[in-house]
Structure 1
Amino acid sequence: MSSVIDLDMLKAFGQIAAPAGIAIGAFLYLGRDIVARNIFPTLTRQHAYHVIIALAFMAWTVALAGIGAWTYVSTHQGRAGEDSRESKSNLPPLPGDTGWIFAGYFDIAKEVFIEGPYVSVQSTVTRGHRRFVEVGDTVALKVARDVHIVDYKRQGAAQKLVPPITKGIIDEYDKTGVRLPAGTELIVRDVSEGKWPDSPNGALWLRVVYVPK
């Protein structure tokens, strides 16, 4: 146990000493240039003393600034990573490990969204076959979205692969109770586009899974 603590302490001291050493080294390089100018013989004893004290004070200040900067960056990077991991671990499980989210309405002829899109594409493996999102894309939610599975409240996840658009009108029986927060990253497994015969607009539904950790 003591050896582990000693190693951790040495590692911490090494990380702190690195920026402090760089800062002091840089300052001493400048101080050496000042000393090389041989100005001390032209100064009184009191002035020379003040110059030496000033150099020592500035070296200490630079070292503290280096340690402070390192501590600030390390702390905030660590917190950012912890927050990201915590937010991912707090996501609710998807019924049957998947589900459908509504991504928006779009004008089919003009190929523009009239509602949404509620997701943004983060990365893609193919592009050009569809007007907005492809199977295999990684998307992030712009707003919170409910997860749907056709007839979930009566059949569970049995119809998890059935696009909601085939049912027509989504109702309370299709809600899984899972609501994903904005910013959730998901992988698209299926894309479903559908419209009523007399409507110029189509609905975009995505079957998604979580991005593997």
Structure 2
Amino acid sequence: MEGDTVRVIVQIAGVGGLGLTVFLIIFREIIRKNIFPQLQNEHSYRIILVMLSFTFVIALAGLGAWVWIQTHPNEFRKEVRAWDHLDGGYKLMLLGLAQEGCYFFRWDQSSILETPDFVEEAQHQYAEEKISMAKAEDPLLIVGFKETGGALAYAQTTSERHARAVQNYLVNRFNLPIGGIDIVGVGATGNPPQVDNYFCGAKLILTSEYEKLTK
């Protein structure tokens, strides 16, 4: 019965209520020991005073925590990120594509999607490697894609926007000259992979790798 009471209090009052309940149970058990007749009046008074003081402080702290949470609700909400619902297999697939130079977009959107830190790190390492390999006769190239379907002209424009977004990102991230990275849009050609809502909308390669990529 006591366990049920504690459970109800926790559901209503939260952790502060649990602390106060546990303290009151301990207080009750001490009283049940019937030790007060064996103590001097001064000692009994001190014990009761200390326990009442602790009860008041815990109750006041619980009330203060409740008021704070009610007035600052957004500070206690766990941030839900777009990839939190993905299972381990999907996250590994994202990682694999990132290691091949992919940057991710959503259907008909031109902004690069935020990804888990380990995916961004893989993209960063891949980009550093490609930058170090690039030469005047074999410069960097960003190939933009559009999801399969839709009008050809619209697909072409969307793929170019994807490539341009990644170009701007890499120029800012690695402090590169804007002319140091070429871009090309290929529309829906190649049907690049998609993991859940993450579509490989653009890929960083060397120009010499373009023909193989678009076969």
TM over 0.5: no
Name whichever structure is richer in helix by fraction: 2
Name whichever structure is richer in strand by fraction: 1
Q: TM-score, normalised by structure 1?
A: 0.39
Q: TM-score, normalised by structure 2?
A: 0.39
